[in-house]
Amino acid sequence: MKKLLALVLALALCLGLVSFSHADDLIKVGVVNNPPSESGYRAANVADFEAVFTEENGYELKTFYSIKNDEQLQAASGFITDGVDVLLISAAETTGWDEVLKAAQEAGIKVYLFDRMIDIPEDLYEAAVVSDMPAEGAMAVGWLLDQKLDEYKVVHIQGAMGSDAQLGRTGALDEQFAAGTMTKVVQQTATWDEAEAKKIVESVINSGEDFNVIYAENDGMARGAVAALDEAGITHGKDGKVVVMGFDCNKFALREVLAGNWNYDGQCSPFQAKVISDLIKSGETPAEKKIINAERFFDAATITEEDIATYGLGD
Amino acid sequence: MIVTKKTLKKKGNLSQLMIPLIAFGLLIIFNLIRDPGFFSIETKLNNAGNTVLAGNLISIINGASELAILAMGMTLVTAACGGQDISVGAAAAIAGSVFVKVIRGASMVTGGTVILAFLACCVVAMLFGSFNGMLVSVFRIQPMIATLILYTCGRSIAYWINGGATPTIDGSITGAIGSFIPGVPIPTPVIIVVVMIILFSLAFRFTTLGLYTQTVGINQNAARLNGINTTLIKLLSFVILGICVSVAGCIGVCRLQLINHETLLIDIEMDTILAVAIGGNSLGGGKFKISGSILGAYVIQMLTTTLYAMKVSSTDVKAYKAIVIILLVVIGSPVVKRWFTKVMANIRGASIRRLGVKEGN
Q: Provide CATH code, domain A19-130+271-284.
A: 3.40.50.2300
Residues B42 and B44: their CA atoms lie apart, in Å, by 7
DSSP secondary-structure letter at B13? H
**Do A219 and A252 form a contact (C-beta atoms < 8 A)?**
yes
Alpha carbon distance B303, A292 (integer Å): 44
Residue A235 distance to chain B (closest CA, Å): 7
Residues of chain B positioned with their CB less than 8 A from the CB of A251: 165
Contact B255 A161 (CB under 8 A): no
C-alpha angle A239-A244-A249 in degrees, rounded to nearest 5: 115
Q: By the CB < 8 Å criterion, does A37 face chain B?
A: yes
Cα–Cα distance for residue pair A188/A225, rounded to 1 Å: 12
Which residues of B lie closer than 8 Å to A, measured between beta carbons? 35, 37, 44-48, 52, 54-56, 59, 63, 155-156, 159, 163-168, 179-180, 252, 255-256, 258, 260-266, 304-305, 308-309, 311, 313-315, 317
Instruction: Read off the DSSP letter of residue A152.
Output: -
A299: left (phi over 0), alpha (psi -120 to 50) or beta: beta
Residues 6+ apart with CB under 8 A from B45: A233, B51, B52
pLDDT at position A32, please? Answer: 95
pLDDT for A252-300, tens place per residue?
999 999 999 999 999 888 899 999 999 998 888 788 888 888 889 999 9
Task: Tell me, yes or no, if the two domains A19-130+271-284 and A133-268+300-311 fold the same way.
Answer: yes
Inter-chain residue contact B46 with A230, CB threshold 8 Å: yes
Q: Which of residues 207-226 of A touch B (CB under 8 A)?
A: 207-208, 219-220, 223-224
Task: Name the helix (H) or strand (E) containing B57.
Answer: helix B56-63
DSSP A157-216: EE-STT-HHHHHHHHHHHHHHHHTSSEEEEEEE-TT-HHHHHHHHHHHHHTT----EEEE
Kindly list the residues from chain B whose CB atom is less than 8 angstroms away from the CB atom of residue A230. Answer: 46-48, 179
Residue of A nearest to B257 (CA): A223
Contacts 24+ apart (CB under 8 A), B291-294: B291/B17, B292/B16, B292/B17, B292/B20, B292/B75, B293/B68, B293/B71, B293/B72, B293/B74, B293/B75, B294/B68, B294/B71, B294/B72, B294/B197
Put residue A162 in one of left, alpha, beta given phi > 0 → left and psi -120 to 50 → alpha. left
DSSP-assigned states of every residue in B320-333: HHHHHHHHHHHHHS
Residue pLDDT tens, chain B, 361 long = 344 444 444 444 557 888 889 889 999 999 999 999 899 999 999 998 999 999 999 999 999 999 999 999 999 999 999 999 999 999 999 999 999 999 999 888 899 999 999 999 999 999 999 999 999 999 999 999 999 999 999 998 998 998 767 889 988 999 999 999 999 999 999 999 999 999 999 999 999 999 999 999 999 999 999 999 999 999 999 999 999 999 999 999 999 999 998 899 998 999 999 999 999 898 899 999 999 999 999 999 999 999 999 988 877 888 888 888 888 888 878 888 889 888 988 988 887 777 665 555 4
Handedness of CA A229, B248, A194, B299 (dihedral sign): positive
ipTM of the complex: 0.88
Sequence spans of domains, chain A: 19-130+271-284, 133-268+300-311
- DSSP letter at B210 equals H
The CATH number corresponding to A133-268+300-311 among 3.30.750.210, 3.40.50.300, 3.40.50.970, 3.40.50.2300 equals 3.40.50.2300
- Is the Cβ of A67 closer than 8 Å to some Cβ of chain B? no
The DSSP secondary-structure symbol of B134 reads H
Provide the pLDDT for residue B4: 44
**Cα–Cα distance measured from residue B91 to residue A197, given in angstroms and rounded to the nearest whole number:** 22
pLDDT at A22 over 80: no
- Nearest of A189, A242, A252, A188 to residue A220 by alpha carbon: A252
Q: What residues of B are in contact with residue A206 (Cβ under 8 Å)?
A: 54-56, 59, 309
Please state, as a whole number, how many other Cβ atoms lie within 10 Å of the Cβ of residue A137. 25
Residue B137, C-beta contacts closer than 8 angstroms, at least 6 positions apart? B81, B230, B231, B232, B234, B235, B238
| CA distance linking residue B26 with residue B192, whole number of Å | 28
Residue to substitute from A231, A248, A313, A315, interface B, most B β-carbons within 10 A: A231
Domains of chain B: 15-43+51-311 (1.10.3470)
Q: What gap in Å lies between CA B3 and CA B63, rounded to an integer?
A: 42
Number of cross-chain residue pairs from A and B with Cβ atoms under 8 Å apart: 120
- Residue A7's pLDDT band (cuts 50, 70, 90): low
The pLDDT of residue B326 is 87
The DSSP output letter for A293 is P
C-alpha distance from B67 to closest chain A C-alpha (Å): 13
Q: How far apart are CA A86 and CA A92, in angstroms?
A: 19
Task: Say how far residue B133 (Cα) sits from the centre of its chain.
Answer: 19
